[in-house]
Amino acid sequence: MGPSPIRAKVVADRIAWVRNMLASIRSLPRDSLADFTADPRTPAAAESYLRRGLEALLDLGRHILAKGLGRAVAEYRDVARGLEETGVLRPPESTLLFRMAGYRNRLVH
User: What CATH number has the domain bearing residue 23?
Assistant: 1.20.120
Q: Can you give the pLDDT at residue 52?
A: 98
For residue 1, is it within any domain? no
For residue 41, is it within any domain? yes
Tens digits of residue pLDDT in 73-92: 999 999 999 999 999 999 99
Mean pLDDT of the region 16-35: 98
Residue 56 in this model has a pLDDT that exceeds 90: yes
Domain carrying residue 43: 8-108
Residue 3 in this model has a pLDDT that exceeds 90: no
Mean pLDDT of the region 40-66: 98
Mean pLDDT of the region 53-73: 96
pTM of the model: 0.91
Three-class SS string for 22-85? Answer: HHHHHCCCCCCHHHHHCCCHHHHHHHHHHHHHHHHHHHHHHHHHHHHHCCCCCCHHHHHHHHHH
Mean pLDDT of the region 43-57: 98
Count structural domains, the chain: 1
Q: Can you give the pLDDT at residue 59?
A: 98
